[in-house]
């Protein structure tokens, strides 16, 4: 098996969302994605990247000296050496998060890794992409995230949360999609609308806004 990965960018910032929101972290963004979400904010990671062996990536993460390492994409699990990278980051003492779009098998990932798995809603245009068996491998520390564009997405997410009993099993994140294609950048759906629906349903999920979008609304890459 190759121990090389195509990397789009490695940089230091704060974690933008979910249960680690606001914590300093090193982001390792891997190149390539098998999906094409309508609201994708990382299209620059589809093709651009440079090849590194796993140990070179670890060295770059070590140089920053931060405690949290977030491996993301694109879709990290389309590259075969990603589990090896995760394992070595854990061995090096980092708290390690993996962001995945939910379409790839997560059963072979190290137990120590916190998995942040998307479930794509209809507004993404990728609603059939979920590998449903992945729910069998979600741990209590993991996150399942739904990015919402409208009420239809909310109802789709609510049904899955309830049917799969997700609130009892892991952290459940609802997040408004960012209007990446509009010149006046803001959310595609007002966060306050989602709050109203969550409260009306007494649904014990966590609303998460991508704070890097609030802090740096005009930047793509490196935040």
Q: Could you tell me the smallest distance in angstroms from the CB atom of residue 147 to ligand SF4?
A: 8
Helix axes 191-201, 151-163, angle to 10 degrees: 40
Q: Could you tell me the smallest distance in angstroms from the CB atom of residue 144 to ligand SF4?
A: 14
Q: Could you tell me the smallest distance in angstroms from the CB atom of residue 63 to ligand SF4?
A: 26
| Interface with ligand SF4, residue 49, by CB under 6 A | no
- How many angstroms separate the CA atoms of 33 and 124, rounded? 14
Q: Half-sphere exposure of 133 toward its Cβ, with a 13 Å CA cutoff?
A: 5
Token pair 């994708």 in the structure block, residue? 40
Size, binding site for ligand SF4 by CB under 6 A: 10
Q: Could you tell me the smallest distance in angstroms from the CB atom of residue 196 to ligand SF4?
A: 26
| Interface with ligand SF4, residue 188, by CB under 6 A | no
Is residue 188 a contact partner of residue 180, using CB atoms and an 8 Å limit?
no
Long-range contacts of 84-92 (CB under 8 A, 24+ apart): 84/1, 84/3, 84/54, 85/5, 85/28, 85/54, 85/57, 85/58, 86/110, 86/113, 88/54, 88/55, 88/58, 89/58, 89/61, 92/58, 92/61, 92/62
Nearer to ligand SF4 among residue 95 and residue 104 (C-beta): 104
Among 15, 101, 149, 208, binds ligand SF4 (CB under 6 A): 101
Among 2, 22, 36, 162, binds ligand SF4 (CB under 6 A): 36
Could you tell me which stretch among 50-58, 69-77, 89-97, 169-177 binds ligand SF4 (CB under 6 A)?
69-77
| Interface with ligand SF4, residue 153, by CB under 6 A | no
Among 30, 37, 97, 189, binds ligand SF4 (CB under 6 A): 37
Q: Could you tell me the smallest distance in angstroms from the CB atom of residue 172 to ligand SF4?
A: 18
Is residue 196 within a helix (H) or strand (E), and if so which, with residue range?
helix 191-201
| Interface with ligand SF4, residue 74, by CB under 6 A | yes
Is residue 214 within a helix (H) or strand (E), and if so which, with residue range?
helix 211-215
- How many angstroms separate the CA atoms of 132 and 157, rounded? 14
Give strand pairing partners of 118.
Answer: 145
Nearer to ligand SF4 among residue 75 and residue 142 (C-beta): 75
Residues of this chain that interact with ligand SF4 (CB under 6 A) are: 33, 35-37, 40, 42, 73-75, 101
């Amino acid at each position: 098996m190759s121990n090389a990965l195509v990397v789009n960018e490695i940089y230091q910032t704060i974690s933008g969302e979910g249960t680690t929101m606001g914590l300093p972290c090193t982001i390792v963004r891997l190149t390539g994605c098998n999906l094409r979400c309508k609201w994708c904010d990382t299209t620059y990671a589809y093709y651009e990247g440079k090849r590194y062996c796993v140990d070179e990536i670890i060295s770059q993460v070590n140089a920053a000296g931060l405690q949290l390492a977030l491996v993301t994409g694109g879709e990290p699990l389309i590259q075969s050496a990603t589990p090896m990278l995760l394992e070595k980051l854990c061995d090096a003492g980092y708290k390690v998060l993996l962001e995945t779009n939910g379409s790839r098998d997560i059963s072979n990932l190290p137990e120590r890794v916190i998995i942040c798995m998307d479930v794509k809603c209809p507004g993404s245009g990728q609603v059939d992409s979920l590998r449903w068996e992945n729910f069998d491998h979600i741990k209590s520390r993991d996150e399942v995230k739904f990015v919402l564009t409208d009420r239809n997405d909310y109802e789709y997410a609510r049904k899955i949360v309830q049917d799969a009993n997700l609130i009892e099993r892991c952290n459940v994140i609802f997040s408004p999609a960012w209007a990446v294609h509009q010149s006046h950048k803001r959310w595609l759906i007002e966060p306050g609308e989602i709050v109203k629906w969550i409260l009306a349903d007494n649904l014990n999920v966590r609303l998460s806004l991508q704070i890097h979008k609030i802090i740096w609304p005009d930047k793509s890459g490196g935040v």
